[in-house]
Amino acid sequence: DGTQNSAMQRGYLREEISSSSSLIVDINYYLHQQVLPVISRLLEPFDGTDQAYLAQCLGLDSSKYKARQQKNYLKDNENNIENNDDDDFNDELLLGEGSEAFKQCDPFVFPCVQCDTLNFWNAPFIFNEDKTCISPLLRCKNVNCSSQPIDHVVYLRNRLTLM
């Protein structure tokens, strides 16, 4: 209604909205503030249903949700480092040298969100021929695919949970 009243004071009955030409339902506000949070909480356990994807499905701008998701992920990791939550940290595992201990384990396999190529994650880093290393979460196995698995952290977490 354009006033500075609280949300409770700006609530109107359906009849009031339909009878007044000055009152218009703000669809974007309703989808962002009322629909998306509820749907996100309900669908969070399902594979590949992060808030950015759901916003896109509702026709909303998903970029701010992607940025928020990555920011939260980085903040959680930063908190873990500050709190020394790396008691189980092992340099051999980080560098892939301790793979003998996990030889019998199945690799983490997940299809790419964009191209459905199966990505296998056997070690934290992939070493190239020139001795540089990259994380397997920075690119899809399919060289023609531009997707970065790290952009879909919730999807990956759900895949790991379902294993």
User: What is the predicted pLDDT for the residue at 103?
Assistant: 67
Provide the residue ranges of all domains of the chain, joining segments of one domain with +: 1-89, 90-163
Specify the fold of 90-163.
Hypothetical protein af0941 (1.10.3200)
User: What is the predicted pLDDT for the residue at 117?
Assistant: 92
User: What is the predicted pLDDT for the residue at 80?
Assistant: 56
The Cα–Cα gap between 127 and 42 comes to: 40
**3-class DSSP state for residue 51?**
helix
CA distance readout (Å), 91 to 18, 53, 87, 97, 132: 66, 35, 12, 8, 17
Topology alike, domains 1-89 and 90-163: no
The Cα–Cα gap between 3 and 117 comes to: 52
Query: For 37-70, how does the pLDDT look when each residue is reduced to its tens digit (9 = 90+)?
Result: 999 889 888 877 788 888 888 888 878 777 666 5
The Cα–Cα gap between 97 and 149 comes to: 24
Architecture per CATH, domain 1-89, reads as Orthogonal Bundle (1.10)
**Regions of the chain short of the pLDDT cut 70:** 1, 67-103
pTM: 0.40
Residue 160 and residue 48 in contact, taking contact as beta carbons nearer than 8 Å: no
User: What is the predicted pLDDT for the residue at 87?
Assistant: 47
